[in-house]
Structure 1
Amino acid sequence: MSNELIINSTQNGCRIALLKDKSLVEFHHDEDGNQFNVGDIYLGTVRKVVQGLNAAFIDIGYEKDAFLHYLDLGPKFSSLHDFTKRAVSKKNTSSKLEKFSLKPDIDKHGKISSVLSKNQQILVQVVKEPISTKGPRLSCELSIAGRYLVLVPFSNTVNISKKIASSDERKRLVRLVSSIKPDNYGVIIRTVAQGKDVKELDTDLRNLLNIWHEGVKTLKTAKPREKVIGEMSKASAILRDVLNESFDSIYIDDKVILDEVKSYIKTIAPDKEKIVKPYQGKAKIFESFGIERQIKSAFGQSVSLKGGGYLIIEHTEALHVIDVNSGNKSNREEDQEATALSVNTEAAKEIARQLRLRDMGGIIVIDFIDMKRAENKKLIYKIMKDVMVSDRSKFTILPLSKFGLMQITRQRVRPEMNITTKELCPTCHGTGKINASILVSDQIERAIDYLMTKQNDKDITVVVHPFIYAYFTKGTLSRRLKWFLKYFKWIKMVQDSSVGVTQFQFLNKFGEEIEING
């Protein structure tokens, strides 16, 4: 199984696609200047304490105040607050916590008004990005994630991922980490730490401690609303979480992002640096890898299954509903039960991909095709659990109910990825009336004639929709070959499915757009 990461630079940031066996499984859009990412740590100010909710609203610079519940303060809040107060007041506070005297834990059944008051400054971390009409969700249990470990200041516990099943390996890792971690720092051991030696774990721990020390330096001069510790770029964060032995290649079409990713991989996995490659193809990178087409086909309301069935995906404010339909599959199997099992099996695999791809969260209800046999229902439940193992979000799956419904809860910490797949006609702009689309070929040929005879351009490229590309290039004596015989110059053509059927673009040898004035 191959894993590829494709990064496309855009005007506002970059688009990131994770491919598994050429199939798109994750898609992210990382915009420049995007604030309030999960993991960012801010110096916030308490705006309002609401006793009825046992929570407070905190100003961290977002248009709406962020939400902090009492249970998210964490037991070590008194220690964190005392440390923050000392650092902000410019007292001689060392960023090293080994000699810091921890305060007693706060009462886990206490009231928010007993620990927070209006205009109080506190250090908070974003655990859920702004979604819809809600501001960010915050926590005071700070954590800094690394490749193998997660550093938790003001704690002394060592916890380990439940996904590491071997009791011997669990004991080994806990023993190793306990021996290298400083006092007053807790550590969570991540799943990818399995099998790693003490040198790799120690390097990761030192990197996390350096991030904390730099953050404390920033805190000493920080003003309210300022970011103290920022989460890394989305590309690096994905690499940190998913990079493993099965990764074949990382293609990037921008030198700045390429250098950043290379530098990060050199830090976390030097042996993997060679898989980071610059993209040098002529077509757009997402077009070349077939991602543009997959994005358009995967984000619609209706999603086709390879076997002939299809899914209908509806999003509401309260939950997501997915309906499984057999489509033209219904006549292929020997009986109704076999058809239902076949379609449901394929649907379960595609639904797991869709949840991850769209980052759907909250409550998801799936209406599978009815099956009578209990063993078939159990099989679909097992398949769903197996295919969702690679999902990095926390989730819970319930067995199929007597109505054939499956309920899933999936943690959502970012706004859902939603891409409009119904396009406004590029020619009529929604009016429903266009010039005859056949005329686009005449317009292109007139423009080529103008560029070749009037402007004498020697090296031009025409970017068109795949349908138009086929019209000009197919056949032994294609229209493009006729141009060559007429102008004695070869005209390059590039197909781009993101371009409308009636749209086209002319580029010069430097890749700059040519304005047609004739």
Structure 2
Amino acid sequence: MTAELLINVTPSETRVAYLDNGILQEIHIEREAKRGLVGNIYKGRVSRVLPGMQAAFIDIGLDKSAFLHASDIVPHTECVAGEEQKKFHVKNISELVRPGQDLMVQVVKDPLGTKGARLTTDITLPSRYLVFMPGASHVGVSQRIESEAERTRLKKVVNQYCDDQGGFIIRTAAEGISDTELARDAAFLKRLWAKVCKRKKRHQTRIKLYGEIALAARVLRDFVEAPLDHIRVDSVSTYESLLEFTAEYVPELTEKLEHYSGKQPIFDLYDVENEIQRAMDRKVALKSGGYLIIDQTEAMTTVDINTGAFVGHRNLEETIFNTNIEATQVIARQLRLRNLGGIIIIDFIDMNNEEHRRRVLHTLESAMSKDRVKCSINGFSSLGLVEMTRKRTRESLEHILCGKCPTCLGRGTVKTPDTVCYEIMREIVRVHHSYDSDSYLVYASPKVCEALKNEEAHALAEVEIFLGKSVKVQVEPLYTQEQFDVVLM
């Protein structure tokens, strides 16, 4: 088993692919013109307060105002637990902010579709081993560090760096790390926070105070806990900057960095380009002959499983079970690869055997446990659907690479030539009652004109007889199937 990161850099775009045993698992894309905002800190101004939504809109200098909920204004709410959580109540938004007020906020979710960025006043600054929490006075430890002795040691070491500036969360990567390394990390974060505060005092509102590091370095920081074997970079300048970054923050990754200088593009060499293209397809084939249908909408993503050409070897029940089991692995990979988030509904093929349902659910949970993004699986509903959520912090792969079809405007379907023919005939009658004309000329797409002259010729002739006027049809090659014009002659 090998795990690799491939970094492809061009002047306008950086792409990072994560391969596990030669199979693409994740793809991260950052374009200079549309860099992600998550982690950025801004000095913004409250433009509107909406008590009915318990939220406020903050102008941080972007095209769209960002969204701040009342629950995200209280500092470090993620640390409230146990009995304290029962007593915890979110204050009314009107008591927390007012229009025209300046706030320091951090982006926790990129703008998605028509929605602006989601904000919090709960500022955090991450580094290699620690996360700095300005204003906090405690130390938290990652739950993934299981050794109680190590948790106690880390907490004791880091606790001495807490002061009026803030507290820390100890990341999983800090397990087994020396006191010196932790001290260096804490000092770096405090210096960084001091720079942010200095910039806040020096500048007026609607200004970015801190920006997240570039994609390539950010991925290395986030993948440091993954068992990487190779990190291949096809840009000399990026390779050199990553050498400096790893030497200072993640020295264990320095020796794994390689500069790729081959003539063939690195993504072509590892078949990543083809995998990205396949990730745009609605239909995903299973090795057995079955397939998935993945539909992404504004509200949710749906995944439908079908047996397709897979007929099995024993009986229908075993065929359905085996198809569903295979689908769980593919679904987990597709969710990561396409970066699908929010509500996800999975329609497995109906299973009557309760043991089969339990095993399919367990296999799905096991496959999703490899996901670095937080997921929650709620099990089978009364309708036999599996409901789950996957945290969404940035645009999906489809939204990054694709836009709405100019013909169907995102519907995914276009009107048939027959339908457009009938619309044209109704339009001719409508124009006849509104304007006086001797004849009419119809401009339409090639397929629609062909239908008017052949299959619908009889219907068009009846319209001419009914109106007592002639109708001519002319092809307009540049028209889409739904476009047409009725011109008075």
- CA positional deviation for 1:282: 1.0
| Aligned Cα root-mean-square deviation (Å) | 2.4
Q: Does 1:218 align with 2:199?
A: yes
**SS in structure 1 opposite 2:46?**
strand
CA spacing shift, 1:30–1:55, aligned 2, 3 Å: same
**Residue in 1 that maps onto 2:269:** 288
Q: TM-score, normalised by structure 2?
A: 0.76
Identify if the C-alpha distance between structure 1 residues 252 and 75 changes in structure 2 by more than 3 Å, giving closer, same or farther.
closer
Q: How far does residue 423 in structure 1 lie from its aligned partner after superposition? A: 12
Compute the displacement of 1:200 (Å).
2.9
Q: Cα 1:294–1:35, aligned 2, differ >3 Å: closer, same or farther?
A: closer
Unaligned runs of at least 5 residues, structure 1: 78-106, 425-518
Equivalent in the alignment of 1:313:
294
1:17 positional shift: 1.0
Mapped pair 1:235 → 2:233: no
1:300 aligned partner? 281
Distance in structure 1 (CA, Å) of the matches to 2:364 and 2:258: 35
Which residue type is aligned with residue 361 of structure 1? G
Answer yes or no: is the 8 Å Cα contact 1:370–1:403 preserved in 2: no
Question: Partner residue of 1:367?
Answer: 347
- 1:76–1:355 CA distance, 2 compared to 1 (3 A): closer
- Residue of structure 2 in register with 1:328 after alignment: 309
Structure 2 residue 321 is the aligned partner of structure 1 residue 341: yes
Between the aligned partners of 2:378 and 2:93, the Cα distance in structure 1 is 35
Paired residues, what number? 394
Structure 1 position 178 matched with structure 2 position 159 = yes
Q: Percent identity of the aligned residues?
A: 38
The corresponding residue for 1:115 is 96
Query: Which residue in 2 is equivalent to 1:74?
Result: 74
Q: 1:263 aligns with which of 225, 244, 254?
A: 244
SS in 1 for 2:292: strand
Query: Which amino acid is 1:66 matched to?
Result: A
CA distance in 2, matches of 1:195, 1:390: 23
TM-fit CA distance, 1:162? 2.6
- Residue 399 of structure 1 aligns to a residue whose secondary structure is strand
In 2, distance between residues paired with 1:423 and 1:33? 22
User: Within 2, Cα distance between the matches of 1:412 and 1:205?
Assistant: 29
Q: Could you give the per-residue CA deviations for residues 335-377 of structure 1, whole angstroms, max 9, x where no partner exists?
A: 2232222222221111111111111111100011222222221
Aligned to 1:149: 130
Q: Distance in 2 between matches of 1:298 and 1:48?
A: 40
Structure 1 window deviating more from structure 2 (192-201 vs 132-141): it is 192-201
How does the TM-score come out when normalised to structure 1?
0.72
- CA shift for structure 1 position 245: 6.1
Residue 398 of structure 1 pairs with residue 370 of structure 2: no
Partners of 2:320 and 2:242 in 1: CA distance: 45
Secondary structure of the 1:134 match is: coil
Relative to structure 1, the CA distance from residue 197 to residue 343 in structure 2 (aligned partners, 3 Å threshold; closer, same or farther) is farther
Query: What does 1:485-496 align with in structure 2 at a 5 Å threshold?
Result: none
Tell me the residue number matched to 2:39. 39
Query: Cα distance, 1:405 vs. partner?
Result: 1.5
Match of 1:202 among 159, 183, 193: 183
Map of 1:125 onto structure 2: 106
> 2:14 touches 2:215 (CA, 8 Å); kept in 1?
no
Q: Which amino acid aligns with 2:371?
A: D
Structure 2 CA distance for partners of 1:288 and 1:75, relative to 1, 3 Å: closer
Deviations 1:393-412 (A, max 9, x none): 22210122354311111110
State the partner residue of 1:87: none
Match of 1:119, as an amino acid? Answer: G
Q: 2:18 aligns to what?
A: 18
2:478 — aligned with what?
none
The gaps in structure 2 that reach 5 residues or longer are: 78-87, 407-489
SS in 2 for 1:327: coil
Contact 1:8/1:254 (8 A) holds in 2: yes
- Please report how far the alpha carbon of residue 392 of structure 1 lies from its aligned counterpart in structure 2 after TM superposition: 2.2
User: Is the contact made by 1:314 and 1:320 (CA closer than 8 Å) also made in structure 2?
Assistant: yes
1:44/1:225 contact within 8 Å kept: yes
The one of 335, 359, 367 equivalent to 1:387 is 367
Give the letter for the 1:223 counterpart.
Q
Name the SS for the 2:204 alignment partner.
Answer: coil
2:324 and 2:36 map into 1 onto residues whose CA distance is 39
Residue 63 of structure 2 corresponds to which residue in structure 1?
A: 63
Secondary structure class of the residue paired with 2:397? coil
- Match runs of 1:376-455 below 5 Å: 376-418=356-398, 419=401
1:408 maps to a residue whose letter is: M
Instruction: Verify the 8 A CA contact 1:359 1:416 in the aligned structure 2.
Output: yes
Cα–Cα, structure 1 residues 420 and 109, in superposed 2: closer, same or farther, change >3 Å?
closer
